[in-house]
A and B are shown apart, each in its own frame.
Chain A
Amino acid sequence: MRSIILRSCDGADHVVAQEAACLSKTVQSLLEELEESTLVVPLPNVCDCTLRKVLQYCTQHTALQRRVTDISDELRTREMEAWDKRYIMVSTDELYHLVMAAHYLNVPGLLELCCEGIANLIRGKSPEHVRQCFGLVKNFEAPEEENIRRTNLWALVDEKEQAKK
């Protein structure tokens, strides 16, 4: 098994199995472009701690994938889901960095997992709560907001109904 070195933007090196690193489509295509002999792949858009977290995902998933023989498919999916759930329990800040990294490195599974994590933060909240949660500033003027409400009238849930939630 070939090992390669991924270098983050702040110059830290991470040694990983090629198989795991190739979960990232970006790394895979970079490896194909670079010569056979190169073992160091520079990743200028990812910082050290995020890269470590991403690689944790990659190694875990390849390891589980490789254990084809000793566990059934169903058990493996369940194990993977449980692991994913624990893995995504990070701070909101970390989640952004992770989603950006997953987008840049193009790891489809991880990207989906992160989106799910952020979507969970939005679900079942009022606009005001969502704003608080993401530290956003309300950049609507009052008449503007009224206007959106009016144009979306076809779907807006009653205020009372929303308060009940």
Chain B
Amino acid sequence: MSEIDCLPNAILVAIFDLVPPLEVINTCCLVSKRFLDVSLSPDLWRNKVNDLPQVLTDRLEARSQLSYAKIWYGLYNTNMLSNANWGNITDHRNWLMPPANGWRVTLHGGHGWQPEYPPAGLDPLNVDMLPRMGAPRTRFTGALASSYQWCEVMQPVNILLELRRRGMETEEAEQYLDSGPEITFAVWYGGRFDCPSMAEVVVVLDDGTDVLPPYTGRREFPWARSAITHWKSGSLTTQPGNWKLSCHTFKGYSAGVRRAILVLRGKDDRFWAGHYGSKFSAPELYFGKCRW
């Protein structure tokens, strides 16, 4: 028996509390049975997860499939957006079909959107992206480039569904959302080194009942009327050859939020043919504070 096994549980919990949480899940779990017990114990994780609904905390102890650790991971360390690396969204007529690839192209000005792997005229964004729940962690290197007229892409996210994917019951998820937990949307935008460009980000939180209108071809944003709360970045100017972060955290909003709608918009400033407009990379939507 090793000496570390002699330490009482309370001390082991205090020690694990000082190790980065992801390392606890990935490393400490696999060391020994004792470590496994402690590293997934509620004592360690309870105060890392804020404002969970009462119904959930009451039931949590009895559930084998769901633990505080899993909730912590699901809420704060996974991306609620699908297709964060812009696969297969070149066809602008996609708006006619349900967005199987996550994104709907709502404006296709100039030569339209162009996914680039790696991005042209700009170094790839070198950050660790949050994975989707249940997917392995991978590093994405692509970007979505806009053209010489306004291009717009949007993604509606059913937050209720995402919470259920993370193991909550509908009732628990609704209570959690109604308590107004912090939700953060972050996206990186950048411009080619040789062409100035503009970008705009809009995030809307609504009750999810409104049917989203199809391709409008106009620049106005028609979904804001159903919004419970929303945020507009305003016109952003990209820095040539560099990535910048656009990030917003919603908190203390009123009850009833069930859906998030993200809108990204971009174009270049020189009216050049091709895809010289602003580029987007690593869009993320998750609970908790901005992690950058």
Residues of chain A touching chain B, judged by Cβ–Cβ distance below 8 Å, are 93, 96, 99-100, 103, 111-112, 115-116, 118-119, 122-127, 130-131, 134-140, 145, 148-149, 152-158, 161-162
* B138/A158 in contact, CB under 8 A: yes
**Shortest CB–CB separation between residue A65 and chain B, in angstroms?**
23
**Shortest CB–CB separation between residue B11 and chain A, in angstroms?**
6
**Known interface pairs A100-B6, A130-B28. Does A155 touch B22 (Cβ–Cβ under 8 Å)?**
yes
**Shortest CB–CB separation between residue B216 and chain A, in angstroms?**
38
Q: Which of B30-38, B150-158, B173-181, B280-288 binds A? A: B30-38
* B31/A136 in contact, CB under 8 A: yes
Answer whether residue B26 sits at the interface, using C-beta atoms and an 8 A cutoff. yes
A-B contact pairs, 18 of them (CB 8 A): A96-B4, A118-B4, A122-B16, A122-B23, A127-B29, A136-B5, A137-B32, A138-B32, A139-B32, A148-B29, A154-B70, A154-B134, A155-B22, A155-B25, A155-B69, A155-B70, A155-B77, A157-B26
Q: Could you tell me the distance between the alpha carbons of A145 and B33 in the complex, rounded to whole angstroms?
A: 10
> In the complex, what residues of A have CB within 8 A of residue B26's CB?
155-157, 162
> In the complex, what residues of A have CB within 8 A of residue B18's CB?
115-116, 119
**Known interface pairs A115-B14, A155-B22. Does A127 touch B27 (Cβ–Cβ under 8 Å)?**
yes
* B23/A124 in contact, CB under 8 A: yes
* A154/B27 in contact, CB under 8 A: no
> In the complex, what residues of A have CB within 8 A of residue B137's CB?
157-158, 161
* A100/B7 in contact, CB under 8 A: yes
* B32/A136 in contact, CB under 8 A: yes
Q: Could you tell me the distance between the alpha carbons of A152 and B74 in the complex, rounded to whole angstroms?
A: 12
Q: Could you tell me the distance between the alpha carbons of A155 and B20 in the complex, rounded to whole angstroms?
A: 13
Q: How large is the interface on B (under 10, 10 to 19, 20 to 34, 35 or more residues)?
A: 35 or more
**Known interface pairs A119-B18, A155-B73. Does A99 touch B32 (Cβ–Cβ under 8 Å)?**
no
Q: Could you tell me the distance between the alpha carbons of A75 and B20 in the complex, rounded to whole angstroms?
A: 29
Scan residues 190-242 of chain B and give those whose CB is less than 8 A from a CB of chain A.
none
Which of A138, A155, A158 has the largest count of B CB atoms less than 10 A from its CB?
A: A155
What are the 9 tightest A-B residue pairs by CB atom distance, in nearest-first order? A119-B18, A127-B30, A96-B3, A155-B25, A115-B15, A135-B2, A115-B14, A134-B4, A155-B73
Residues of chain B touching chain A, judged by Cβ–Cβ distance below 8 Å, are 2-8, 10-11, 14-20, 22-23, 25-33, 35-36, 69-70, 73-74, 77, 133-134, 136-138
> In the complex, what residues of B have CB within 8 A of residue A148's CB?
29-30, 36
Q: Could you tell me the distance between the alpha carbons of A143 and B47 in the complex, rounded to whole angstroms?
A: 32
In the complex, given contacts A115-B11, A126-B27, A155-B77, what are 17 additional A-B residue pairs having Cβ atoms less than 8 angstroms apart? A96-B4, A103-B10, A112-B14, A115-B14, A115-B15, A118-B15, A122-B15, A134-B2, A134-B3, A136-B31, A139-B33, A140-B32, A148-B29, A154-B70, A156-B26, A156-B136, A158-B136
**Shortest CB–CB separation between residue A160 and chain B, in angstroms?**
9
* B31/A131 in contact, CB under 8 A: yes
> In the complex, what residues of B have CB within 8 A of residue A126's CB?
27
> In the complex, what residues of B have CB within 8 A of residue A99's CB?
7, 11
Closest to B3 in A: A96
**Known interface pairs A96-B3, A103-B8, A140-B32. Does A152 touch B25 (Cβ–Cβ under 8 Å)?**
yes
Contact of A154 among B23, B73, B138 (CB under 8 A): B73
**Known interface pairs A93-B3, A136-B4. Does A153 touch B134 (Cβ–Cβ under 8 Å)?**
yes
**Known interface pairs A127-B30, A127-B31, A148-B29. Does A122 touch B19 (Cβ–Cβ under 8 Å)?**
yes
* A103/B32 in contact, CB under 8 A: no
> In the complex, what residues of B have CB within 8 A of residue A111's CB?
11, 14
**Known interface pairs A127-B31, A136-B4. Does A154 touch B15 (Cβ–Cβ under 8 Å)?**
no
Q: Could you tell me the distance between the alpha carbons of A157 and B25 in the complex, rounded to whole angstroms?
A: 9
> In the complex, what residues of B have CB within 8 A of residue A154's CB?
70, 73-74, 133-134
